[in-house]
Amino acid sequence: MEKQTYLAHISEDGRKQTVQTHLEGTAKRSAAFAADFGAEYFGRLVGLAHDIGKNSAAFQKRLQGGPRVDHATAGAVECARLDALMSACCVTGHHGGLPDFGNLVTDMPSDVTCSGRLKRGIQGGIPPYTCSGKLPDPGPEPDFQGDDYVRGLWTRMLYSCLVDADYLDTEEFMSGGSVQRGGYDSLPALLEKLEKHIAGFFPPKNEINRCRCQILQNCLDAGAGPKGIYTLTVPTGGGKTVSSLAFALRHAVKNGMRRVIYVIPYTSIIEQNAAVFREILGANNVIEHHSGATLDADEEIQGSKSNQRLAAENWDAPVIVTTAVQFFESFYSNRPSKCRKLHNIANSVIIFDEAQMIPTFQLNPCVGLIADLTAHFGTTSVLCTATQPVLNDIIHAFAPDIPIREICQNTAVLQETFRRVSFRSAGTLSNDALVEELSQQDQVLCIVNTRKAAQEIFRQLPGEGNYHLSTLMYPAHRQAVLQTVRQRLKSGSPCRVISTSLIEAGVDVDFPAVYREMAGLDSILQAAGRCNREGKRDASKCTVTLFQGENPAPTLIRTNIGATVEALRGNADPDMPESIQRYFASYRSLIGNNLDKAHVVDHLRNGISGCSLPFETVAKEFHFIDQATKTVYIPLEDGEEACCSLLSGYATRAQYRKAGKYSVNIYEQHYQALVNSGDITTLDEDSAVLTNGTLYSQDTGLSLKADTGRAEFI
């Protein structure tokens, strides 16, 4: 009797891939990925097991257009028979998402947990399937001394290996081998490019540059050190972007690491930092990744949806520039497209720029993740900021044996050297009074706490040379405005900018005067970094004016303001390290133990009502920011073609990357209003393309009104 050949995929042009070929190809990739954290044999196991269920008559009918069929549980059952339960969980969710593991004793076959599905599979509740060969037994899975938080992190990493390997093997087959990944320069080659770039910095030509070169040399020297957790406490204007890259590349080469990941708090400055890195390292070696559609599917689908899913970002480039939202939410997600890249973070250098901006109510899950990535997955993390937060106690609660090393020891001396401003308090200012003061200055930056205030003040400003910046403008638009602003500042032309806080974190602008609405001391000092940035003016004549706006401060930052008031009591100098330390100490005291709003760490360690490792539940509960956002792509300029591709359903990964430069992230209520008014066309549950062009202003970006979603230009 002739042995039946089972098929895994049929391409649109009719080519066929057997299940066995797909399993072997996936296993080879997955094992190589998992080797980075010592799980090579488990990577091979999940790769060989994940699609065993396709060796069934039911799935072969599915390939011909038949009804949906569970093909994942079969492989999970085979893993469970080897007592590889976390591997089974990975296989169970390799399309639909990593499920809650559940309870092997109490879960029923009808439950959607991994335990429930295993019972259903063992009891014959899935289509009969054929095992094409004996699976390798990798031995016992690590239990990390009973710490289920780390065990859950290991499971997500293994899941990532499987998902990425599965997608890559499928992508190679579906494209007929025409899609090629990789082709990047090696890290030693990138280090050589960096060294060539910074050679011109030496010898320094003035005192400011001498200090910047000292910081750069400190980073190069520290880069030769061992893996671990480092802090880089550098005053604003100290050149930490290039210096931290220098540390990362030298450290990665010295320690045989895979890549550098630069995590930034705002989408607004991703393109700026990525542009700097591309100039130094070459455009093909740097990927910026901060938004995009959720490209998941619960089934094998041919055609456009499959193409979208395969295009999801997997962070295979040597230098990745991303946002804190993307980084942390990916680790606590259970979705294949978001988890796909996680394995590429193992054995990487991770720079957390503006580390003080990690939300306080997420400090435990975020800082704990940083600590455990270092302790168990071979990463080195650098907490990089001018205002270093108090995090040592949290780090050591998760990883007590990891030392924390400061790269620049002489922070106080550097602070004095980089002093470029004086501070002034203006009390409470109405919008009219604020506009009057701003109008009297030719070049000034004003930073306020809300997008509404920014638009109102901008519209009241008389004359020419006025500009607005907020996250309602897509990144390419903001970059164009910033380019104009820099040109006008350089030429001495009138230039008044009204911005939200997005301009504070690393945006390279140099104003003679800055106004900052009251906020946390870290934000105030970041704002001060946009004043007399190059130190070419007399510091006594470059004033940062603090004021209270006419509207009450947003609830989200009232605690920060209270800590600022405490830190500056007695006319303390905002710029001194002791003021910064008092601020963070006061802030931590005010918030108490509210460091894990969704109880993520506790739920992963101890389960929920008897359900262990609740991956899916945690994914629903964890949000890096209080209000989750959705993405609206704007079909303007070069974004028009990319948006057309997204709407067609056949967008490539390159087109998603391009579309990200023409996207705006908005809150749920605004997004839903746009859906209801028909002003956007949805791509999936989290993203859409703007179809009503009147809603986008070249002055203020996407105009929203929460109750209607309609434009309201005044």
| Distance between start and end Cα atoms, the chain | 79
* Residue 267: pLDDT band with limits 50, 70, 90: low
- Choosing from 142, 174, 206, the residue where a domain stops is 174
User: Is residue 502 in a domain?
Assistant: yes
Least confident of 302-311, 413-422, 613-622, 700-709: 302-311
DSSP 450-498: -HHHHHHHHHH--SSSEEEE-TTS-HHHHHHHHHHHHHHHHHT--EEEE
DSSP 542-573: SEEEEEE-SSPPPGGGHHHHHHHHHHTTTT--
What is the average pLDDT across 234-247? 89
User: Is residue 590 in a domain?
Assistant: no
150 with 75, same domain? yes
Please give the structure tokens belonging to residue 632: 């609206």
Q: Are 421 and 394 in contact (CB under 8 A)?
A: no
Domain with 363 in it: 187-293+302-415
Task: Please count the CA atoms within 13 angstroms of the CA of 325 that sit on its side-chain side.
Answer: 17
- The Cα 196–Cα 704 span in angstroms is 47
* Residue 78: pLDDT band with limits 50, 70, 90: very high
Provide the pLDDT for residue 592. Answer: 83
What is the average pLDDT across 586-601? 90
282 with 392, same domain? yes
User: Is residue 607 in a domain?
Assistant: no
Cα-flanking dihedrals φ and ψ of residue 677, to 5°?
-85, -5
Nearest Cα to 497, choosing from 472, 468, 517, 474? 468
485: domain CATH number? 3.40.50.300
Helix (H) or strand (E) holding 8: strand 7-10
- The Cα 400–Cα 133 span in angstroms is 44
Scan for tokens 């000034």, then name that residue.
444
User: Is residue 604 in a domain?
Assistant: no
Q: Are 293 and 630 in contact (CB under 8 A)?
A: no
What is the average pLDDT across 164-169? 94
User: Angle at which helices 19-34 and 148-174 pack, to 10 degrees?
Assistant: 130
User: Is residue 710 in a domain?
Assistant: no
What is the average pLDDT across 263-277? 80
- The Cα 500–Cα 504 span in angstroms is 8
pLDDT tops 90 at residue 320: yes
What is the average pLDDT across 574-595? 87
16 with 95, same domain? yes
Q: Are 29 and 165 in contact (CB under 8 A)?
A: yes
570 with 452, same domain? yes
Scan for tokens 């001498």, then name that residue.
210
Provide the pLDDT for residue 556. Answer: 83
- The Cα 429–Cα 460 span in angstroms is 14
Provide the pLDDT for residue 271. Answer: 73
User: Is residue 662 in a domain?
Assistant: yes
276 with 234, same domain? yes
What is the average pLDDT across 319-328? 93
12 with 147, same domain? yes
pLDDT tops 90 at residue 85: yes
Least confident of 75-79, 383-387, 451-455, 651-655: 651-655
- pTM of the predicted protein model: 0.83
Report angle CA 297, 303, 306 to the nearest 5 degrees. Answer: 30
- The Cα 702–Cα 312 span in angstroms is 26
* Residue 707: pLDDT band with limits 50, 70, 90: very low
Which among 287-296, 338-347, 575-584, 677-686 has the top mean pLDDT? 338-347
* Residue 712: pLDDT band with limits 50, 70, 90: very low
- Choosing from 387, 415, 443, the residue where a domain stops is 415
Nearest Cα to 112, choosing from 129, 92, 94, 130? 92
- The Cα 390–Cα 419 span in angstroms is 23
Please give the structure tokens belonging to residue 59: 């799935």
Q: What is the pLDDT of residues 123-134, one digit of tens each?
A: 999 999 998 788
Provide the pLDDT for residue 700. Answer: 93
Q: What is the pLDDT of residues 153-164, one digit of tens each?
A: 999 999 999 999
pLDDT tops 60 at residue 301: no
What is the average pLDDT across 488-504? 94
Q: What is the radius of gyration, based on Cα positions, of the chain?
A: 26
What is the average pLDDT across 678-701? 93
Provide the pLDDT for residue 229. Answer: 98
Name the percent of the chain lying above pLDDT 70.
93
Please give the structure tokens belonging to residue 565: 């008031």
Name the percent of the chain lying above pLDDT 90.
68
pLDDT tops 90 at residue 40: yes
* Residue 291: pLDDT band with limits 50, 70, 90: low
Mean pLDDT of the chain: 90
pLDDT tops 80 at residue 35: yes
- The Cα 671–Cα 308 span in angstroms is 22
Q: What is the pLDDT of residues 197-218, one digit of tens each?
A: 999 888 888 877 888 899 999 9
pLDDT tops 90 at residue 150: yes
The separation between CA 2 and the C-alpha centre of its own chain, rounded to angstroms, equals 52
45 with 135, same domain? yes
Sign of CA dihedral 158, 161, 165, 168: positive
Provide the pLDDT for residue 572. Answer: 85
360 with 456, same domain? no
Strand-pair partners of 690? 680
Q: Are 74 and 129 in contact (CB under 8 A)?
A: yes
What is the average pLDDT across 276-293? 82
User: Is residue 179 in a domain?
Assistant: no
* Residue 179: pLDDT band with limits 50, 70, 90: low
Provide the pLDDT for residue 709. Answer: 31
User: Is residue 46 in a domain?
Assistant: yes
12 with 150, same domain? yes
549 with 487, same domain? yes
Task: State how many domains the chain has.
Answer: 4
Nearest Cα to 704, choosing from 361, 452, 531? 452
563 with 445, same domain? yes
pLDDT tops 70 at residue 427: yes
Please give the structure tokens belonging to residue 695: 């809603």
Please give the structure tokens belonging to residue 133: 């060969």
Q: Are 516 and 546 in contact (CB under 8 A)?
A: yes
- The Cα 471–Cα 267 span in angstroms is 8
Provide the pLDDT for residue 412. Answer: 67
Residues 6+ apart with CB under 8 A from 472: 451, 664, 666, 700, 701, 702, 703, 704
* Residue 245: pLDDT band with limits 50, 70, 90: very high
* Residue 386: pLDDT band with limits 50, 70, 90: confident
DSSP 582-630: HHHHHHHHHHTT---TT-HHHHHHH-BTTBEEEHHHHHHH--SSSS-EE
125 with 266, same domain? no
Nearest Cα to 88, choosing from 69, 73, 103? 73
* Residue 303: pLDDT band with limits 50, 70, 90: very low
Report angle CA 644, 645, 650 to the nearest 5 degrees. Answer: 145
Q: Could you give the dihedral angle defined by the CA atoms of residues 587, 588, 594 and 600, in that order, rounded to the nearest 10 degrees?
A: 120
- Choosing from 396, 415, 434, the residue where a domain stops is 415
